[in-house]
Amino acid sequence: MGKRVVVVGGDAAGMSAAAQAKRLKPDLDVVVFERGRHTSYSACGIPYWVAGDVDDVTQLVARTPEEHRRRGLDVRMGTEVVALDPERGEVVARDVGTGSESRVAYDELVLATGARPLRPPVPGIDAPGVHGVQTLDDGEAILDALRSREPRRAVVVGGGYIGVEMAEAMVRRGLEVTVVDMAAEPMSTLDPDMGALVHKAMEGLGIDVRTSTAVREVALDAEGRARAVVTDAGELPADIVVLGTGVRPETRLAQEAGLPLGRFGGVTVDLRMRVCGRENIWAAGDCVESLGLVSGARIHVALGTHANKQGRVIGTNLGGGYATFPGVVGTAVSKVCDLQIARTGLREFECDEVGFSWLTVVVDSTTAAGYHPEAQPITVKLIAERRTGRLLGAQIVGKEGAAKRIDACAVALWNRMTVEEMTALDLGYAPPFSPAWDPVLIAARKAADLVAEDTCR
């Protein structure tokens, strides 16, 4: 048997690293520790499972522990790594069921510990009836509550991706839904003017959206279960409370072992995904910080797309190859009922933080030719650097056919294109899919005109 690789975490990043390393170098002894009951699953699919789009949890599992084992991986479920000992090259693993501990040596260590959900530090936040949305077990707990307790009113704390997606799931389940968010508008990954469009659309769907509102307490009934969410603007009755307050890198093990962390609390790694300053420790997924290709600064973006790519990079390097992960531009899409939401690159305040001088355009158009019966409204916002016209960010809100247009903007960002260069992009056209001038190109043209006017002043 060859060198031993120990992987901490059995989801996207960890299993991608383990599988790729074993595929390239079959004599590797690859041991994976996973404290939960599932491997290689889609946490992003939980809201759609709760909503009823997914019939069974197995549909969210890309590869089971048994399938991984058949490919030669030593996958140890229900086992949590509780400590790292980099000096001795060992991890301390604890059986979740029995509590027994053992030390396991490694030649190479891969940290794929993911992220942890943020919970507001308020009384009652850990009470029964308050649900996070991080693992498949969380999804099962929410579905069990919906079936057994038949709630009528849901309060979703947080108006980000998970918050709006879970609000949709609850609406489709027939519940009265209130979303509470401290930000001025929901979807704070957008600029406030675009978030306002999301706010209006959510209210049009019957969702009560309370922005600029802080949660003070989760009030409990006589049995100790959540019965209401107390905010600084009053009490909101709730038969079920769902937390969509975002995540932070899960880096307790790394921090206790003295590994370097960045400003967002994520492990810092080089382009090969090796932990900075450590020759035989690697990290990937939601527990790391990535290079933001637009800002040039390290950022934390928790997405399965990046986790899978980063894990594969590690596996390639462990398997004797050479691979790098260059960074991210920050592309994400979501939806709430029939409203699609997308963004990439920087928001206005992030441009200010980095020191860009910028200007913006906002364009209202349609997803298809205006005369076509399937045409839907779409709003596109572009942020460009003054003088140079380099695209810095894009945001899109609209109906069917809107969100995936963000991909053209993401490619433009990746290639450091200017808005003037974007106007000549050869995008697909037919009346059912786009006006003759695609909304992205209209926005690029107007941005280019604005840059030219600004340069001539």
**Could you give the CA distance from residue 361 to residue 278 in angstroms, rounded to a whole number?**
45
Q: Which regions of 284-421 does DSSP assign to beta strands (E)?
A: 290-291, 298-299, 332-336, 339-345, 358-366, 377-385, 391-398
Residue tagged active-site, from 44, 276, 287, 337: 44
Neighbours of 33 (CB within 10 A): 23
Joined together, the tokens standing for residue 14 give 């960890």
Are 244 and 299 in contact, with CB atoms under 8 Å apart? no
Structure tokens at 92: 């301390």
DSSP 58-71: GGGBSS-HHHHHHT
40's tokens: 């290689």
Q: How far, in Å, CA of 86 to CA of 447, rounded?
A: 52
Question: What is the distance between the alpha carbons of residues 286 and 114, in angstroms, rounded to a whole number?
Answer: 4
Q: Which residues of 299-337 are buried (b: 16+ CB within 10 A; e: fewer)?
A: bbbbbbebbbbbbbbbbbbbbeeebebebbbbbbbbbbb
The rounded distance, in Å, linking the Cα atoms of 401 and 398 is 8
Q: Look up 44 and say whether it is catalytic.
A: yes
β-pairing verdict for 115-117 and 247-249: antiparallel
C-beta of residue 161 within 8 angstroms of C-beta of residue 333: no
Which residues have a catalytic role annotated?
Answer: 44
